[in-house]
Structure 1
Amino acid sequence: MSQQGGTPTGHEDDWWRQLYDDSTQDTGPTAAPDTLDDRFASAVGTVSDRAPEREPVVPPPRTAPPPGDGLPAAPAADPPARAAGHRAADAADAAEVAPAPVPVPGRAPHLPPGTGRAAPAVDYVGSGPPTYDAEPTALPPADPDDLDDLVADTVLDGARYGACTLRAVSLRGDSARYRGEPRRDSLLTARFGTGENALLLVAMATGARATPGAHRAAAEACHWIGRAVGRSHARLAADIRAARRGDLKSGLHRLTDRSLGKLRASAAEQGVEPEEYAATLRCLLLPADPDCRTRVFFGVGAGGLFRLRDGEWQDIEPRVADVVGEAVMGFGSLPAETPDGDRLTMDLGIPTPPSPYEPAPPPEPPREPFRFRASVARPGDTLLMCTGGLAEPLRGEAELARHLIGRWSGPTPPGLAAFLADAQVRVKGYADDRTAAAVWEA
């Protein structure tokens, strides 16, 4: 697996102090921000194979949520100040950041929530079997002088801290397995700090489609956000416990902006277009403090954020129309001459038209908004963050949604092998890489 990204300079250290004035350093057997090449999840295995084509996916219509499905207040066991802070953050999140939860089609048949009876494991669901066999076919080509560039077919990891149990997996899609292409998805799981002050980070990225360095761009995006979060983990953990939502959103926006901006610099060094060395990025922050049930999601680009509650999936991904904030650098941000990117005349403030003697500048690529959600989990919830490879079939195939409800509604989380089996259930017409992280609340 390729791990790329340089060590920031002293000039950048000053920038970090200005952003998050935290001088705490990692001292225990935890992840060091500058050695995240060793923090990628291991336990390599192989899994299924599918058709190289993907059918169009039309998400189900968004409907009003059931009554009383807003985010809960902090648990009664919390200290009064902390509980009040959680309730304030929860109300602000429901009002500003994310749309109301929307059920994903499908409820588990014959499985009352909490009964502990899991649905049987299956290889595929849907209208019929995928085109190809359920095992990898071809390995990606290898360069004997650059073996670090190889990417494992499957990566699996897990942990248990505080009130939550984490399972995470990244596996190569059927199309890439059949063609012998590397996995474009990258996964990073890391713990910064010790004891109840520790902070867990799950980062996943997907490189641009049909580009030779897609897997390297995804890995680099995970490295940079990991280093950024690691250097500021003490301040971030304190902000999460105190429910300082505004500070969290602005700080994480800057960290994401800075990290994805590194990809543009890498593209320039390699002499390629920025859009050819780009990646989506989705992250989850989980405090190890058992008294804090705030879960923070942030990132840029397509994917999914779902919550399994009371035997039903809820799509809680912040919609683009609801996202507040500027675009993130590296995804088509406009030039900095003005807030709108226009070059203004000195006197009148009128945009200068292009000269008829000069070619018009190329159009800017679409802008990708920064997505953020901070919510308070309830006991029995399962939170799922995933890339588009799993989000699209989960939204588009009701049988997959029902199957995962049956598998994940029991009182105990699945083991690593069982979680891998669940994540690799195939659906005909969906052949992209899949990366998912699920959090079970005790």
Structure 2
Amino acid sequence: MRYYIMKKTLQIITILFITVLIFDYPHIKVEAETPDISITNKKDVNGAFVVTSDPQYPWTDRTDNGQTESESEKERRSEQLIREQYNSINEYTSRLTGMTEPTPVLINGDLTAFGHPWQWDKMNSLLGILKSPIFMGLGNHDIENNIDDCLSNSCVRSSMNYFTKHMQLYGLTRYDRKGDAPNNSHRFGSFAYSIDVGPIHFVQLNNYPTMTFRISEYTMEDSLSWLEQDLKEANQYGQAIIVNMHEPSGWKKGSQEQKNRFKNLLEKYKVKAVFAGHYHKKSGYFPNDYKDFFGNTPVFLSGSASQRTYLTAEYTNKEIKVYKVKDNNWRNKTLLKTIDISGRSFPQYSKVIDFYEHSNGLGKNFKGISITEWNDKLSSVRVPPGMTVELYEHIGYKGKMKTLRNKGDLPRLYNLYDFNDITSSYKYYTNAVGAKKIISENTK
């Protein structure tokens, strides 16, 4: 009897341990002797995601219609509309059954009306309502509209500060925030990022892919070169690619050549859909409205909190079904389109860890090279699934340490923002429970 109780107790502890880990995305066991890892086409994938945009606090349906209301009333009603939508999303995600993947909520821009710090403070509180992981992008009301239109560009800065802080909470697949100047005084890049959830590769391009600006603490670059590399790898790994942004048209920055390049990238790497926001009263599938920007890639708009609309999507390993939700009533959601994601290739990739000279996997690859070549020169590292890398400030595994642990199913690229150009030694080993532990040390 005592043995039975102990056995049951161990089973319960094991289940609880697995439950805690599950939100770090699925693991695959990596044996020490395995030189290559196969990406397998899982047959029993069931997942979902939610797409929203334009909570735009404080903004209401009356603001959309050009009707006046007092500032206090606008703030009260805007908060009420956002709360209602986020509670609806929670109810929807709580009723999903048989899911094998986490259910993220994508917010495609315009979280605030003007990017003021007090608006971000309120949105930070309201985002806490959502019980799912949140992957946000910035829109024109958060950044572009406020450039040189707010004292010392403080509104743009507050939007960028909140965004970059929020991104640190998640283990992103790729993130285009390049190395900082001394003392963290300036950050630059497109600030686009991507993340893998099950078979889906989500890309977030913020307002739009050709947008650029420079203020005292931030420089935003266009995302095209970063995007090309990101899409290339996602396509190589057999992921179904979903691109997100805020504005589906009317881009103020960027040449026609850049816009054509972007459109060609979507086609070349077989992007399955684009999700956007911006137009509060437009929600649904728009097959013909935005071909100048996206070619034949399906385009979906999610509307706004003020109009009480959002989108949901449910997928297997073969298809994605996209639904429209009106009046925040997910029970009466309507099917917009079924997207075929079958027939993707699932190649092998090397277990070898790559160490790069520059951010985003660019520049010289230092793997297997003497320390005299790479000492204090590492800016990014690609870690295979199931592996952990420990970077050290000094030779002999001394000084500050940074740990890169990939718990996902695909290789993950880490930019060493706070550890850029200071690595002098490293170790790596497998994460898998019960697998033979590899420790590889490199100080020479």
TM-score (norm 2): 0.23
Higher relative contact order (CA 8 A, sep 6+): 1
User: TM-score w.r.t. structure 1 length?
Assistant: 0.23
